[in-house]
């Protein structure tokens, strides 16, 4: 029980990053993908137990806008988990995927009512807000689990519009207002995620592509990947923080987006760029995993 109490909410970001990294490297080694999936599942189960057993104690942590906006990484991870389950039980995978999608939609409604409509303040805005509203695009990336590409397309358009609206607010918060607390600074790496997630979702869920959407999202994906790397370089040093999980999924999904769009955009440098992104993402995810294991079993008492 004590272990569940100190099991940090942000670790869901690492779980999501591990599932995504497995999908990224599947073309290199399916065994490595499965190994990463197993590790992610081992971390996922205590998180699920924490929600089911200690749900009444989550209210206080989720009053924090950073923790509340990071929480939906769990539903995003649930959607990706469905892809790992599908080869063994298609019906189970379908159920898991729909649970992830519906739960994420409910979290969007809850977060909007709690932080956008009744209690909005610019200093409560963080890059992790992208997770809430753009994170539903994971349904677009994982739509092949059920074959329900219509849901993936609706999720993409909701996430796309949300991204355009949020981008200006989050940029103002980070670049003009500033004053982001040190524990929340790793969330700035999340800038790398939304455009890349949208691009990956678009490539998967739309059989016919519109060129300007692909090129726009790819350009934004590359630009914000550079921004994410810049913020990683600024924030990775020093003592471990649970928010370091924010380093993982954004860099992984950036590599996935580059890889998925390669046949369409066909830039000469894109393959090399994708390889660089993949290596960086893999190294950082494993680094965060190692630090989290140390934190869970030695540092957090």
Residue among 236, 222, 149 at smallest CA distance from 188: 236
Crossing angle of helices 248-265 and 194-205, in 10° steps, is 50
* The two structure tokens encoding residue 49: 């137990």
* pTM for this predicted structure: 0.95
Instruction: Report all structural domains of the chain as residue ranges with CATH numbers, in order of start.
Output: 2-299 (1.50.10.150)
DSSP per-residue letters across 109-154: HHHIIIIIISS--GGG--TTHHHHHHGGGHHHHTGGGTT-HHHHHH
* The two structure tokens encoding residue 34: 């499965």
pLDDT tens digits for range 191-229: 999 999 999 999 999 999 999 999 999 999 999 999 999
For residue 157, the model assigns a pLDDT of: 98
Distance CA 186, CA 231 (A): 7
Is a pLDDT exceeding 70 seen at residue 300?
A: no
pLDDT tens digits for range 105-158: 999 999 999 998 887 889 999 999 999 999 999 999 999 999 999 999 999 999
Residue 1 — pLDDT band, cuts 50, 70, 90? low
Higher per-residue pLDDT: 57 or 27: 27
For residue 56, the model assigns a pLDDT of: 59
């Amino acid at each position: 029980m004590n272990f569940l109490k100190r099991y940090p909410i942000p670790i869901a970001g690492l779980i999501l990053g591990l599932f995504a990294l497995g999908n990224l490297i599947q073309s290199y080694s399916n065994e490595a993908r499965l190994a990463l999936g197993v590790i992610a599942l081992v971390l996922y189960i205590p998180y699920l137990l924490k929600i089911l057993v200690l749900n009444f104690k989550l209210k206080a942590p989720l009053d924090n806008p950073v923790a509340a906006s990071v929480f939906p990484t769990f539903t995003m991870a649930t959607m990706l988990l469905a892809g790992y389950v599908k080869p063994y039980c298609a019906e189970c995978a379908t159920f898991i995927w729909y649970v992830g999608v519906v739960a994420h939609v409910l979290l969007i409604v809850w977060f909007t009512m709690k932080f956008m409509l009744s209690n909005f303040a610019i200093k409560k805005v963080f890059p992790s807000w992208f997770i809430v509203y753009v994170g539903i695009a994971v349904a677009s990336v994982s739509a092949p689990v059920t074959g329900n590409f219509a849901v993936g397309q609706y999720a993409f358009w909701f996430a796309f519009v949300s991204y355009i609206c949020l981008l200006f607010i989050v940029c103002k918060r980070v670049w003009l207002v500033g004053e982001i607390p040190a524990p929340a600074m790793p969330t700035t790496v999340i800038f790398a995620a939304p455009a890349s997630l949208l691009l990956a979702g678009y490539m998967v869920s739309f059989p016919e592509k519109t060129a300007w959407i692909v090129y726009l999202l790819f350009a934004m994906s590359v630009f914000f990947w550079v921004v994410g790397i810049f913020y990683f370089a600024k924030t990775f040093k020093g003592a471990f923080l649970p928010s370091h999980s924010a380093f993982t999924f954004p860099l992984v999904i950036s590599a996935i987006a580059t890889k998925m769009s390669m046949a369409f955009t066909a830039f000469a440098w894109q393959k090399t760029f994708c390889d660089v992104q993949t290596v960086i993402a893999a190294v950082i995810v494993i680094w965060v995993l190692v630090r989290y294991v140390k934190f869970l079993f030695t540092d957090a008492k």
